[in-house]
Structure 1
Amino acid sequence: MRDDARLGGAAGPEVAGGDGADMTRLLFVEDEPQLLRAMRITLRARGFEVRTALDGRHALSEAASCPPDLVILDLGLPDMDGVEVIQGLRAWTGVPIIVLSGRASGHDKVAALDAGADDYVTKPFSIDELLARVRAVTRRATSAESVTVVDLGRYRIDLGEKRISSRDSADADADADAGSGHEDPSATGGEDKPDGPRLTPTEWRLLEALVRHPGKLVSHQQLISQVWGPGVADDSSSLRLYINKLRRKLEPDPTRPRYLTTEPGLGYRYQP
């Protein structure tokens, strides 16, 4: 049953600390009042400052008047589609956006991600999963473009210098063991060494598009646009070919990728 009453924003958490320890201001957009109330209570209890909206226009107005640090957004809103809300926000802000929706089709997920969403959680959902996604997008939103050096398994990647070197074996082995459950047999000892694999310009652009956004799901079309340029047709086969080339050069086991992972039908992630 739909309640047409507006649920206004509220200041201050009921419990300090928790998942929103730095007083993250969160805008939660959902047209089901019962879910909205429940999530407002839950998120405040975890330390977030929560503001709410029941429809798209209210969401855009709320975001403009009190800019949030994070938006959680349903797609099925009564006055406009959630993708339009994402596009409206992206016209002026890079705030992280997590879609929380009952739409499970690949088409809806791709549309939301291509519009600028940072992640997509399908209903029904667990609060622990949602909070984990919140922590992930909040962490990576702070300095994605300032990232110049990234550790990927046994390699250290310098994006500015376009240089790949081998890492100290102890650090690389620890990462490989923690992430994939088996030792990396090709790690070598010693200090950083400039003996990593050579990448083509296209491979560098693709790698950079992923590692500058650790943990973020990047859609096929976003990657194609960033690597080959805007307006290029969606050529998933070429993208898949280059992802496989990167895996063969960088992954400890290319058949079981640990760092450059696939979201079937959606895109790829760099998992630190």
Structure 2
Amino acid sequence: MFEFKQSVSTSTKIILGIIAWLAFVLIWQLAASADNPLFPAPDQVIHALWTLFTERDFAFDVLSSLQRILISFAIAVAIALPIGVLMGSFPLIEAMFNPLVSAFRYLPAPAFIPLLLMWLGTGDTQKIALLILGVIWFLITLICDATKQTPNDFIESSKTLGGSRRIIVWTVILPASLPSIIDACRQMLAVSWTYLVIAEIVAATDGIGAMIMRARRFVHVDEIMAGILIIGLLGLLCDLAFRGLHWVMFPYLRRR
């Protein structure tokens, strides 16, 4: 039954995923059976979620958070993509930028919050900047590594046919590394969601993180867990969107 690197059908994946979720909810329900207000049961969290959407305008908070995530991640990709591709294509460029990128990769993004507040104020710009700092350095590294995986035979063949550096990067290296770049973006978007609450706990009036902090102030644990649940669901939907994009853009990988 258990074999290394065995192929699993789509229906089996769906069934096993449903079983895993049902087991998680069952364990959660059993653990919350003592009626502890600090650890509400799943039905209490669902009820809190319904109340948030119907009575507290939680949909506006969700849209605000989603907008911040999408804008910040689009900016991070727009910056990281050309830098990462050039670093992966030309060793001289990598030698120049890699020490800087590697150093910033180890700096925690929340440490920049005081500086961002002084430089950018308390508005959306500060929150978007924090979300960008949380992913851009890792994204550059992942895109660089993906670009390096382009087979040398492709590059040498393009040189033989008279391709210039610009043409080789644009028509050979980028298309060859694009599937791995899409996967890297999918992974880093998940990281961006993990920084959302941190970005929205400082001087925020809207967003999922702001709602969670308001709920913490009044010890509404069910609302806190509802907010966490929504972040997880939105993250899952974003992950499925990237998987679907990968599936549509690269049909030859499916056949392989």
Instruction: Assess same fold via TM > 0.5.
Output: no
- Give the number of the structure whose residues are more often helix, by fraction: 2
Under a length normalisation based on structure 1, what TM-score does the superposition of the two structures give? 0.22
Give the TM-score of the pair, scaled to structure 2. Answer: 0.22
Higher RCO (C-alpha 8 Å, min separation 6): 2
Give the number of the structure whose alpha-carbon radius of gyration is greater.
2
